[in-house]
Amino acid sequence: MSKAVRRWLITLVCLFVPLFSFADVLKITVDDTIQPISDEFIGRAIQQAKTTNATALLITMRTPGGLESSTRNIVANILASPVPVIIYVSPSGSRAASAGFFILESADVAAMAPGTNTGAAHPVTIGGGQMDEVMKQKITNDSAAFMRSIVAKRGRNVQVAESAVNDSKSFTDKEALDQKLIDIVASNEQQLLKDLNGRTITRFDGTKVTLNTSGAVHEYNMTLRQEILNWLMDPNMAFVILAIGLLALYVEFNHPGAIVPGVVGFFFIVLAVFALNILPVRYSALALIVLAFVFFALEAKFTSHGALAIAGIASLTIGALLLVDGPIPQLRVHLWTALSVSIPLGLITAFLMMIAIRARRNKVTTGVEGLVGEIGTAQTPLSPDGKVFVHGEIWNAHSSAPVVAGETVRVRKVDGLKLEVEPGSVAVPTR
């Protein structure tokens, strides 16, 4: 290889390597419940930090907790991270409760802002229901052992950390620092990185690393797909979208060929399925929601004086409340959301079905069939055939009795292009 080619290669390396290796801190923000999208986001951020040769990954966190399965995946990713992970509970007034406490303790550096709190990591059953003492003890012991396995290797206070699991204890930032649950309290991000610069830490595998946090901080954001799914992960939003989709399909069912309601309904239901496929869902609750629409349809068809509509609203409300089996309130459908959707939806669907049924029962007033029962005038004598003027048109007619020109006639039947009529004074039998 010639010296000229070698110089060009060295120049190219010097130009392009900095673009992919900025040796600075990568930062992400987790400000939501811990669920599969949080797990995916943190996992990708760790890979991005490795790819860009970041000196550390800073996770600013504020969470009320979340799903255990997602929490364990996140903790596993943090423990295996090739770059040091700094978790900072911020801003003031925030918390890292329940699942957030496990994630905080798994970090290479656990930090909190003044006025924040953490802890309350006692396991809660899916759906918040009661369980027998043996199963409760098993789950608690399993969570406590998980906490010990993290904290012991990080050199933090095992006994105090375990009390957050067994006794649901919570800690302020000062209490957490004094009892060696965290490593540092910093008033803001800049102060945190300044205080950590040059500090030597021991990683989970026992290796010692000196932090270099003096470089620039690069924000790493969710992809558009992750942002949409994260928005859909709110159980209240998932339920509202499902309800809108079902209502739109209900409208399409009552007005076949409208197309637009069917397309909208299908689109919204697909969105809801995406969310519910990721969230812990009770399928019996979905059955209750479908049953609610059956009640609404029956209310419009039968005279129940509102009993079926009330049953439909109750079924839809209960189905909404049981739809998502979240361990914390933030991962369940709220009562007010269920009521604010169920009551209007019940009234709207019952009203639409009532209109549709009444329209089907009404006598036809348009087209050829709409001529039956109409009053016209004989243009010529009907003995028995002649001409009549009905609905602004002259028709060939056959009369059941003689009619003189100018007399009124009533249409009894339409036979092709000929009308069967009778004198207008003859009463039409009621049907």
Residues marked as catalytic: 98, 138
Whole-angstrom distance, CA of residue 354 vs CA of residue 297: 8
Whole-angstrom distance, CA of residue 358 vs CA of residue 299: 13
Do 422 and 400 contact (CB within 8 A), yes or no?
yes
Q: How far is CA 71 from CA 33, 97, 123, 144, 233, in A?
A: 10, 12, 12, 14, 16
Do 5 and 37 contact (CB within 8 A), yes or no?
no
Whole-angstrom distance, CA of residue 280 vs CA of residue 268: 19
Whole-angstrom distance, CA of residue 17 vs CA of residue 82: 20
Pairing state between β 375-378 and 217-219: unpaired
Q: State the DSSP code for 370.
A: G
Closest CA to 299 of 354, 356, 244: 354
Closest CA to 112 of 121, 100, 128, 120: 100
- Residue 59: Cβ-neighbour burial (10 angstroms; 0-12, 13-18, 19+): buried
Whole-angstrom distance, CA of residue 103 vs CA of residue 81: 13
User: Per this entry, what is the length of the chain?
Assistant: 431
How far from chain centre, in Å, is Cα 54? 34
Q: 159-164: long-range contacts at Cβ-Cβ below 8 A with a sequence spacing of 24 or more?
A: 161/105, 164/101, 164/118, 164/119, 164/120, 164/121, 164/122
Q: 283-287: long-range contacts at Cβ-Cβ below 8 A with a sequence spacing of 24 or more?
A: 284/322, 285/318, 285/319, 285/320, 285/321, 285/322, 285/323, 286/319, 286/323, 287/319
Give the residues across from 119 on adjacent strands. 97, 170
Phi/psi for 152 (5° steps) reads: -60, -40
The answer to whether the Cα torsion of 319, 323, 327, 328 is positive or negative is negative
